[in-house]
Structure 1
Amino acid sequence: MSGERTRVLVVDDQTVVREGLILLLELLPDIEVVGSAADGEQAVARAAELAPEVVLMDLRMPRVDGVEATRRIKAAHPGIEVVVLTTYADDESIFAALRAGARGYLTKDAGGEEIAAAVATVRSGSSPLDPAVQRRLVEAVAAGEQRPKRHGDLPDGLTRREAQVLALIAKGRSNAEIAGDLFITEATVKTHINNLFAKAGLRDRAQAVTYAFRHGLAE
């Protein structure tokens, strides 16, 4: 991806917010804003027309909201990644957006560098979550499940090492940090993540956090 600019579609029903985001992103060297949309219905059409690599998607919009727009875009164009950008960090929106296929979630007080980092992260195959949002997600799952930690058999055939990697993912650790914690290479971490995602049927790190708490594997 060296030297390439990520094609981004900006979706927000508020003109001031939408135009402000475009101006902010156009200052970033690694991002090319290919277009914008004022609601979910328009976002679906523009995604098909402009073929962006990443969509910055507001959630609360008229006609078609961001969750439904995300679902339609992912169904028609699985290669397009969606990063939800919203004022609301409520649990219902988080779960709905993730279930619809969003790979990242940022609140609207995120700065340009944070948004750029999120765009780069989803393109690399990971899933950025605003720290406050991830904390709410973890708390919601933990409160809803209330299962004790399992020290015996691991679910879905996970190995002990895969469970350790999963627990560190749930703590918000990066691949490099996990490698340092476990004294293994980053390539080995990626192998463990690929294996545990395949065994557990996980799509991304956001789902991994939910899975870890559901099965009592997070600390």
Structure 2
Amino acid sequence: METIKLAMADDEALFLNGLKSILEQEEQLNILFTASDGQSFLEQLKVAEQFPDVMILDLRMKGMDGIETTQQVKELFPEAKIMILSSHYRDTFLGYMLKLGVNAFLPKNSAPDQLIKAIEKVHEKGLYFDEGQMMSIHHELSSGKKPKVPQMEQSTELTRREVEILQLICEQYTNPEIADKLFISVRTVDGHRTNLLQKTGAKNTAGLVLYALYHQMIDWEERLLKFGISSKED
């Protein structure tokens, strides 16, 4: 199996370290370097002994953000393959991302298997947009409207009860177990879970866990250990 060389930039150390630990479990993936901002990423890229097959950037970073970083990387290395992960993901950003030259655009709370699939597709075919994204892009292009630069907003705030339930979900509690622990009905838990999926944009439990990791609602090292993953080198 061909090794895919990666490089990543994200100013959220917690998320970056967690993502790095997850991806390092895949034999076909090799992370060359990581950076905490766009400027540092560019500096490392220029002197790297090996060129990354796929680059993974955060959209919103302090200093040089993902958009500016992508522009500069593409100017220096037009054939570079860039994926952007963002907690500010919107389908309405897709047209601009395509125009920018981004090879894939995914929410940060995407399931790990979806992210790995996207990495492999970008490496193999140079592009990854799922069916729903392609429909959104087609609709935007057919409307004749000029793609707009993404305006990033803060994520919808979770209530204290939603945070509590999210933490229990990350502890692998089932809905009935959460109901018993919090002295509420299973139906109420179901409602909170639905709200969590809508507010976070997650599609499943794995997405909720990644959201919780990114927003520092749980200890990522403890969670990774529960899944048999260690973030520490042997």
- What TM-score bracket applies, with the shorter chain setting the length? 0.5 to 0.7
Separation of aligned partners in 1, 2:81 and 2:96: 16
Map of 2:27 onto structure 1: 29
**Offset, 1:92:** 5.8
Q: Which deviations, in whole Å up to 9, do the C-alpha atoms of 1:102-131 show, x marking residues without a partner?
A: 111111121222111111111122411255
Work out whether residues 40 and 64 of structure 1, in 8 Å CA contact, stay in contact via their aligned partners in 2.
yes
Partner of 1:88: 88
Partner Cα distance (1:32, 1:142) in 2: 39
Other-structure match for 2:58: 58
Distance 1:36 1:134, change over 3 A: same
* Cα drift, residue 91 of structure 1: 5.1
What does residue 109 of structure 1 align with?
109
CA drift of 1:49 comes to 2.4
Aligned to 1:70: 70
The TM-score normalised by the length of structure 2 is 0.55
Task: Map 1:113-132 onto structure 2 (within 5 A).
Answer: 113-132=113-132
**Secondary structure in structure 1 of the residue aligned to 2:33:** strand
Shift of 1:16: 0.7
For residues 43-80 of structure 1, the C-alpha deviation after alignment (integer angstroms, 9 at most, x for no partner) is 22222222211101111111111011111111212232
Counting matched residue pairs gives 143
CA distance 1:143–1:99, shift in 2 (3 Å): closer
Structure 1 residue 132 displacement after superposition: 4.9
Secondary structure of the corresponding residue to residue 124 of structure 1: helix
CA distance 1:95–1:65, shift in 2 (3 Å): farther
How has the CA–CA distance of structure 1 residues 144 and 104 changed in structure 2, closer, same or farther, with 3 Å as cutoff?
A: same
Q: What amino acid is the match of 2:45?
A: A
For structure 2, the 5+ residue unaligned runs are 146-234
What fraction of aligned residue pairs are identical, expressed as a percent?
22
CA contact (8 A) 1:105 1:130 kept: no
- RCO higher in structure (CA 8 A, sep ≥6): 2
| Conservation of the 8 A alpha-carbon contact between 2:42 and 2:69 | yes
Q: Aligned partners of 2:91, 2:9: CA distance in 1, in Å? A: 21
Scaled by the length of structure 1, what TM-score is found?
0.59
User: 1:95: Cα distance to partner?
Assistant: 3.2
Question: Gapped runs of 5+ residues in structure 1?
Answer: 146-219
Q: Report if the CA contact (8 A) 2:92-2:136 is conserved.
A: no
| CA shift in 2, pair 1:13/1:134, >3 Å | farther
Distance change in 2, residues 1:62/1:93 (3 Å): farther
Distance in 2 of aligned mates of 1:134 and 1:16: 31
How large is the Cα RMSD of the aligned pairs? 2.0
Once the 2 structures are TM-superposed, how far is the Cα of residue 15 of structure 1 from its aligned partner?
Answer: 0.7
Q: How does 1:116-155 map to 2 (within 5 A)?
A: 116-144=116-144
Q: Which amino acid aligns with 2:32?
A: V
Supply the distance in 2 between the matched residues of 1:135 and 1:89 (Cα, whole angstroms). Answer: 16
